[in-house]
Structures are given as C-alpha cells and as structure tokens.
Amino acid sequence: MTYVAPLPREAITDPEMRDLIAQSEVLGVPDDLFPRILARAPEQAKPFMRALLMSHAEGNVDHRLKEIIRIQLARFAGDKYFAALRSRKARELGLDEKRIDAGCSDYEDSDLFTEAEKCALRYADQMYLDPNKVDAAFYAELKKHFTEPQIMELGAFIAFHYGMQMFMRSLGAVAPSSPT
Amino acid sequence: MFSAADKLALRYSELMATDPDAIDAAFFDALRQHYSEEEIVELGVFIGFNLGYHTFFGTLKFYPLFSPDGRLLTQAESEKIYGATPGSLKPSEPAE
C-alpha cells in the first residue's frame, strides 16, 4: 500500500476524471493507482492526468520511442510502479521487451536504433545523470534529427514523467501485482 | 523563519530530490500532523513536477527573469548577475 492511500473508485464521481482513468486503463500507463491517489487533490488531478496522457500518447514523436524513454527514466528514478507498466498502444505498434531492455542499457552500441533514436535516448539518459552534458552542442546534434517542436515535446515529456515517477517513488509505490 | 509544517514540506522536497529512500511511513505520519491528505498529494506532485522541469529548463539555459530587487532582466543581464551556469545545473555542495 502506498503511504497515501488511493481513493476508492466509487468515491471518484467527476465525469472527466472518470474518463481520464478510463483512457489511462486503455493505454495501460498509468493503471488506476496513480489517478486514484491524485484524485485526493481533485483540483490538481485532472490537469496532471491530462498532461501525463497527452505527453505520452499524443504529439509528433514516435510513441514507441517515448515508451522506451519513459521506462528508462523510471528505472533510473528507482520507481518500480511506472517501470512495470507498459503501453498497449506501443505494444500494438510492435514494441517488445527486447527493444525496451536494449534502449534502457547499451543502446549506443545497439543496431536496433537509428542515430535519431540514440540521440533521443541519450537526451533522457543525460538529463538527470549529467545535465551539464546537455549543452548547446547537444541541442545542435538533436536538431539534426528532430524539429524544435519535437525537441520541446521530448524535453517536456522527459521532465514531466521523471517528476511523476519521483513522486510515486516517494509514496512507496511498487510494481502492480497483475500483468498489465 | 519557518514553522514546523514549512520545514517538513521543505524536507519532503529535499528528500525527493536527494534521498528518496529516506521518505518512509513515519515521514508521512509527520506530514499528516500538519497537512491533510489532499495537501500532501498537492505538495508531492508539485515537488515532482518542479524536480523534473527545473533540470530540463536548466539545459535550455533559462535564467532568472528578475534581479534580486525585482527589476525585469534581459537574458544577458541575468547571466551577468547570476553567473554562466543555471542554478539547477550547478553541482551540489559536498556534504559535510
């Protein structure tokens, strides 16, 4: 059990919040634990859920790449909850565990990734490990592969998901017991 | 300058960034003496959100927009006052 208990589903009556939970269950990320905890602060819950879903599943950067980055970050954050969740959309688009594991480890030497994908994985990898390396030269390299809107989409995605993963880690959240 | 409640909130922020394993059930019990469950969740997501974004903004070379006395600054003026490296990217002081 997390240090702050999630609200029971029946206690969440706001139609938009219920719809956001339904959307997240279709995607698989998050499951209902994260929104039921957020729902304790109803004014915060909806914008945070909208941002979490939109930044992950919408936009102009490949969802499969963002899914690998999300899991890479969760492992780095030590957040067992988000690290265990998987996007059904990404799975349906062909993302498998072998590629996820490669993206979270020795991606630089892997032939599974394009130079653009490696650059995006490095962006997330370095952001919290060694942010001084994410400098003007690094952004110049990113711009060879991505547009500026895509770079901002990636950066905001990385920042938001890492922040929510650290929040869930602080609550003592663990991996869901049932497969997602 | 800070109440016991303020100090606990600041401690939550500090620990989430630097030592999340130190946040345990007893820490949340202490938070509950000063904050409601709603306020704790609000505080936690706010801290997580800022933890994520400040480093990202630091890599973009965002500088404070205002001088210490509240005057609006250009980026160049801000760099002159606050230094060439955004605060979020400066290495932490080594622990005593």
Q: Are B89 and A162 an interchain contact pair (Cβ–Cβ within 8 Å)?
A: no
Kindly report the nearest CA distance between residue B42 and chain A, in angstroms: 6
**What is the pLDDT averaged over residues B15-39?**
97
Among B12, B38, B45, B88, the residue to mutate for chain A (most A Cβ within 10 A)? B45
**Structure tokens of B74?**
């250009």
pLDDT for position B83: 79
The pLDDT confidence band at residue B88, using thresholds 50, 70 and 90, is low
Contact A154, A143 (CB under 8 A): no
Across the interface, whether the CB atoms of A127 and B56 are under 8 A apart is answered yes
Is the pLDDT at B24 greater than 50? The verdict is yes
What's the pLDDT at A54?
A: 97
Alpha-carbon gap, residue B12 to B26, rounded angstroms? 12
What is the reported pLDDT for A147?
97
Residue A49 neighbours by CB under 8 Å, 6+ apart:
A17, A20, A21, A24, A35, A38
Q: What is the pLDDT of residue B50?
A: 95
Q: Which of A155, A34, A150 is nearest to A85 (CA)?
A: A34
Q: For residue A154, give how far its alpha carbon lies from the nearest alpha carbon of chain B (Å).
A: 10
* CA–CA dist A61, A96 (Å, integer): 18
Q: Is the pLDDT of residue B86 over 90?
A: no
Mean pLDDT computed over B25-51:
98
Q: What is the mean pLDDT of chain B?
A: 87
Q: In chain B, which residues have their Cβ closer than 8 Å to the Cβ of A131?
A: 55, 58-59, 88-89
Residue A50 has what pLDDT? Answer: 98
Residue A36 tokens read as 């039921």
Q: Is the pLDDT of residue B92 over 90?
A: no
Tally of CA atoms within 13 A in the half-sphere of B62 that contains its CB = 11
**Minimum distance, in Å, between the CA of residue A111 and any CA atom of chain B:** 28
Phi-psi region of A12 (alpha: psi -120 to 50; beta: other; left: phi over 0): beta
User: In this predicted model, what pLDDT tens digit does every residue of A126-137 receive, in sequence order?
Assistant: 999 999 999 999
List of domains in chain A: 61-170 (1.20.1290.10)
Taking only the tens place, the pLDDT of each residue in A51-103 is: 999 999 999 999 999 999 999 999 999 999 999 999 999 999 999 999 999 99
Average pLDDT of chain A to the nearest whole number: 96
Return the residue in A167, A169, A171 with the most chain B beta carbons within 10 A, the one to mutate for interface testing: A167
pLDDT for residue A22 is more than 60: yes
pLDDT at site A145: 98
What percentage of residues in chain B have a pLDDT greater than 70?
86
* Cα–Cα distance for residue pair A39/A46, rounded to 1 Å: 8
Whether B45 and A166 lie within 8 Å, measured CB to CB = no
Interface predicted TM-score (ipTM) of this complex, two decimals: 0.94
Neighboring chain B residues of A135 at a CB cutoff of 8 Å: 59
A111 versus A177: the higher-pLDDT residue is A111
**Interval A27-58: pLDDT, tens:** 999 999 999 999 999 999 999 999 999 999 99
Residue B91: pLDDT band (50, 70, 90) is low
Q: How far apart are CA B58 and CA B54, in angstroms?
A: 6
Q: How confident is the model at residue B68 (pLDDT cuts 50, 70, 90)?
A: confident
Residue of B nearest to A42 (CA): B38
Total residue count of chain A as it appears in this document: 180
Query: Which residue among A3, A134, A167 sits closest to B45, beta carbon to beta carbon?
Result: A167
B94 exposed, middle or buried (CB, 10 Å; 0-12, 13-18, 19+)? exposed
Contact between A37 and A171 (Cβ < 8 Å):
yes
Segment A105-126 mean pLDDT? 97
Compute the nearest-CA separation of B71 from chain A (Å).
28
What one-letter code names the amino acid at B91?
A: P
